[in-house]
Amino acid sequence: MGERKDVAFEADGGVTLRGWLFLPDGPGPHPAITMAHGYAAVRDHGLEPFARAFAEDGFVVLLHDHRTFGASDGEPRQDVAPWQQITDWRRAISYLESRPEVDADRIGLWGTSYAGGHAVVLGATDRRLRAVVSQVPTISGFEQGLRRIAPDAVAGIEESFAEDERAQFRGEAPHTQTIVSSDPAVPASYRSQEAIDFYLQPKPDGVWENQVTVRSTRAARMYEPGTWITRVSPTPLLMVVALNDTVTVTDLALTAYERALEPKRLRMIPGGHFDPYTARFDQASAAALAWFREHLT
C-alpha cells in the first residue's frame, strides 16, 4: 500500500475535522471511499483494517473522526448529533473531490452502526455518491429503544433528559454518562460484554473517552434513518447485516432492506453487532470491497 497521511478540513462553524487519508500505490486519479464510525466511537475503533483493505485494492480512503470526538474539534466534547454528523460528512465528500489523487466522479461511502444509518441518509440525499455500503446500520432509534430498554426504565431515562435540559437552560454544560459499563448502578449506553470489549479495546492514549452526553441518547431515540431507505435508489446500496445483532437489531435491518429499491445487495454474516470488525472482518470487508469494485472501478 502507499501511505497514510494525517489530514484536516473545515466544516460548518469553522470546526476542524481530522482524519487519515490512505493513498494507494500507482498514479491517479483513483476512485475513493469516505468512511466514518458509529455511535460515540473513533477511527481507532477497528476501522483502519477496512481502510487499508480498500486502499490496497486501489482506492483512496478518507477516514475521519466525527466532530467532538477523537482528533476532530468541536464542543461540547463527546456529543453525538446525527444530523450535524451528516452535514459534516458532506464536507468530507467535498474534501475528497478536491484532492488531486481522486477521481471526483467515482466516490463511494462506507458507514457502520450509527454511521450505517448516516450512509442510508447520505445515499438518499447526495447524488455525488456512486455506491454506498451500510454495515450493521441503525434503522430506527425508536424501535431499537423498544427492544433494548426495559419498559420500567423508560421513565428514568426521560427524567434524565428533562434534568439535562433544565441544567442547560441554567447555563450548565450538558450532562454526560458512561458509554460502556458492567455496573448496573452506573448509567451507561451499553452493558453487554461484546460492547464493553469493543469500546475498551486497546487504543492510543487520549484518543477516546468512555463518556457521552445524555442528550446524545435523546437524539438517538429520535433518529430514523430507515425513513430514507426507498430514496437511496438509483445509487447502488449494499447492506451488511449480522444474523444475531441485538444492538441495531437484525430484523429491523432486514425489513428496511426489503423496502430498498434496486440496485441493492444483502450480505448476511454470522455473529453479533461487533463481529464484522473482528471475527467476521474478512467476510464484511470482502463484501464491501466487491461492491465498490463493481460500482466504482
Dist CA 279 CA 265 (whole Å): 22
What pLDDT sits at residue 222? 97
CA 41 distance to own-chain centroid: 8
Statement: residue 213 has pLDDT above 60: yes
The DSSP output letter for 273 is: T
Res. 201: pLDDT tops 90? yes
75-90 per-residue burial string, b: 16 or more CB within 10 A, e: under 16: eebbbbbbebbbebbb
Q: Among 101-115, 137-151, 228-242, which is the least confidently predicted range?
A: 137-151
What does the pLDDT read at residue 2? 73
Query: pLDDT digit string (tens) for 30-45?
Result: 999 999 999 999 999 9
The Cβ of residue 142 has, within 10 Å, a number of other Cβ atoms equal to 12
Query: Tell me: the pLDDT tens digits for 4-28?
Result: 999 999 999 999 999 999 999 998 8
| pLDDT confidence band for 148 (50 / 70 / 90) | confident
| Amino acid occupying residue 165 | E
Which comes out higher in pLDDT, residue 93 or 2? 93
pLDDT given at position 70:
98
Residue 1's pLDDT is: 55
CA distance to 171, 198, 278, per residue, from 275 (Å): 41, 10, 5
Closest CA to 248 of 4, 36, 38: 38
Say if residue 75's pLDDT is above 70.
yes
Average pLDDT value for residue range 92-113: 98
Q: Which domains does the chain have, with CATH numbers?
A: 3-148+222-296 (3.40.50.1820)
